[in-house]
Homo-oligomer: A and B are copies of this chain.
Amino acid sequence: MCDPHALAKLLMSGDRRSLARAITLIESSRPEHRTEADALMEALSAGGVRQALRIALTGSPGVGKSTLIDALGIMLTQRRLKVAVLAIDPSSVRTGGSILGDKTRMERLAREPLAFIRPTPTNTVLGGVAVTTKDTVFLCEQAGFDVIVVETTGVGQSETVAAELTDVFVLLVAAAGGDELQGVKRGIMEKADLVMVTKADGVLQAVAAQTCAHYSSALKLLARRPSDPENYPQAVTVSALEPASVESFWTHLKHVETWRRDSGVWQMRRARQDVDWVKSELRERVLLRAECDPRYRETVANLEAAVLRHGSAFHSKVRAQLREALQF
């Protein structure tokens, strides 16, 4: 595909097309691309590792993730900060596959030279998302981005993936009656540093404040984590339409970051994430190696034939064959 060293150099100089090419390379599962990706990653890390502020931002469809990221991103690029947005759920960006996908989102930010927006494919094998997104975060850091937002929809596994590769976790929720808390999984609440009630402007302002109070109470039910500054996790209201509100969002993020860096929590968290990541990368490689083994491929073909012959994957003959398959 290309010379990994040349690509690494261009990427580190801030060339966006090189960054896009590098991401495409690491997303590929073709064996020759894997080798090139390894070489690229090694070339990139040889000169030291840069570190951005990584933010996970999660919430149900329609809650206003894109609008808020757009507003925050514009504010930060105006301050000459480089902002990357990686959307684990591809339907939330323009190039994604939502039914009414022609409606533009983050359209102001997409035009900013200091911003980079990229959907991460979710149609790979399970587990692949985590590995690919982690690599993409690293590529963005080496390309000199200051802030990286990993955006996901709030349900399923994607928010767990996002939490495992970011420094701060933000949960967006809609202004609504108190009963809506029911829909939020405890697991997500426990990850959150900030629970933000969105669209806190116009007619929704009073409802948003009320919802925010409900979430404040709910957060108090959770055990305090030693990794949190005082008064965090915190529920706040936010309006993407009001610059002061977006500014306050940024202040919260910086406060959590600074506290964690000063206390050493930040570094410990990254080390633990890195260890977890290395383990999942190793698992991924074990699988890739198996799939390249001709005996493995023969086993798969035999199992397929057995399933079709016996009419069910659960037939005792298929299960016996599956058990014997791992003797090779």
Contact = CB atoms under 8 A, between A and B. Distances in A.
A49 B311 contact: yes
A153 to B, nearest CB: 4
A179 B62 CA distance: 9
Interface in A254-296: 270-271, 274-275, 277-279, 281-283, 285-287, 289-290, 296
A323 interface: yes
A9 interface: no
> Quick one: copies of this chain in the complex?
2
A61 B274 CA distance: 32
A39 B307 CA distance: 18
Contact of A61 (B62, B122, B123, B184): B184
Contacts of A125: 127
A285 B326 contact: yes
Contacts of A213: none
Contacts of A311: 49, 271
Interface in A165-218: 179-187, 189, 218
A326 B46 CA distance: 22
Interface stretch (A12-20, A96-104, A233-241): A96-104
Contacts of A130: 126
A300 B315 contact: no
Question: How big is chain A's contact interface, by range?
Answer: 35 or more
Contacts of A296: 282, 286
A326 B89 CA distance: 32
Contacts of A320: 42
A145 interface: no
A316 B326 CA distance: 34
A97 B186 contact: yes
A155 B157 contact: no
Contacts of A275: 303-304, 307-308, 313
Given A89-B155, A187-B97, A314-B45, A303 B282 contact: yes
10 contacts: A45-B312, A45-B314, A49-B312, A60-B183, A98-B183, A98-B184, A126-B127, A157-B158, A275-B313, A281-B313
Interface of A: 38, 41-46, 49, 60-62, 89, 91, 97-101, 103, 122-123, 125-127, 130, 134, 138, 153-158, 179-187, 189, 218, 221, 270-271, 274-275, 277-279, 281-283, 285-287, 289-290, 296, 299-300, 303-304, 307-308, 311-316, 318-320, 322-323, 325-326
Closest 3 CB pairs of A and B: A156-B156, A61-B183, A274-B313
